[in-house]
Structure formats: C-alpha cells, structure tokens
C-alpha cells in the first residue's frame, strides 16, 4: 500500500492549499500547491511535512525528483545506497527520481520540511517499499 492510498482510503482528501493528512504515526503532510509544467506529462507539487519528535516517514520513493528544504528542527535522511545525513533548519537535500529514502525527526521538537516534487503526472506521488 502506498501512502497516498492510505490517505485516500482513510477518507482524507488531498487538495492543493487546503488539506492536511496524517500519514504514518506522527507524520503530517499538507499539500500547498500543484501545477502542470511546460514539460508534457510533468507536474510540480509542493508539500509541507511536519514530523513529531522520534517519528519516521518510512522508506518510500517518488516518480520524479524531490527537493527538500528543512524549515525547522533536525531531520535525519536515509537515502538508499548512501550514508545518512542530518539536516537542521535551512538545510537542503536533493532526492533523485526513484531512490528510496526515509526521514526521521532526531530533534526534541516538531521538525518541518518543504518538499517540492517534479514528477510524472498521474502516477502515485508516494510509493512505499
């Protein structure tokens, strides 16, 4: 089951700019905007992700690239095939298309990131391992 299916199956709508959805325990996603790109078949999606202390967004991938900007707190990212990296507010990370990755809040307060996706339109945004 992918996370998007979890959100929709739980009766939580994902409409740009309005919806917040509870994913895995302690992980909340708020869709901010979604737009078609000038490249046919591609769209850009921006999401705010809030992660409670100690919570983990489990291993997952996307049908395109993810560009991460840490807004607050301290997050440890684990990208498949790479050493984990810990980022604080102001830190950035690029996740290549199709690379499985996870994020864990290793700080003492809520951690937040702005995730920008450049993905294939019509495919599930999040696919879990």
Beta strand 56-61 with 101-105: parallel, antiparallel or unpaired? Answer: antiparallel
pLDDT-derived band at 125, boundaries 50, 70, 90: very high
What CATH code is carried by the domain that includes residue 20? 2.60.120.10
Residue of 7 and 126 predicted with greater confidence: 126
Q: Rg of the chain's alpha carbons, rounded to an integer? A: 14
Task: Tell me the per-residue pLDDT of 88-112, one tens digit each, with 9 for 90 and over.
Answer: 999 999 999 999 999 999 999 999 9
| Structural domain count, the chain | 1
Q: How confident is the model at residue 24 (pLDDT cuts 50, 70, 90)?
A: confident
Residue 6 exposed, middle or buried by CB count within 10 Å (0-12, 13-18, 19+): middle
- Report the predicted TM-score, pTM, of the whole model to 2 decimal places: 0.83
Cβ pair 118, 37 in contact under 8 A: yes
- Domain range for 115 is 3-128
Cβ proximity of 129 and 59 under 8 Å? yes
26-54 pLDDT tens trace:
999 999 999 999 999 999 999 999 999 99
Query: How high is the pLDDT of residue 20?
Result: 62
């Amino acid at each position: 089951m992918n996370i998007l299916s979890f959100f929709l199956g739980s009766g939580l709508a994902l409409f740009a700019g309005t919806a917040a959805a509870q994913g895995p325990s302690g992980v909340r996603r708020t869709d901010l905007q979604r737009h078609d790109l000038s490249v046919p078949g591609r769209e850009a999606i921006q999401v705010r992700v809030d992660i409670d202390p100690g919570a983990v967004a489990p291993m997952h991938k996307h049908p395109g690239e993810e560009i991460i900007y840490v807004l607050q707190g301290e997050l440890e990212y684990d990208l498949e095939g790479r050493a984990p990296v810990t980022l604080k507010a102001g830190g950035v990370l690029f996740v290549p298309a199709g690379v499985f990755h996870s994020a864990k809040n290793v700080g003492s307060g809520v951690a937040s990131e702005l995730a920008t996706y450049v993905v294939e339109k019509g495919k599930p945004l999040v696919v879990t391992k």
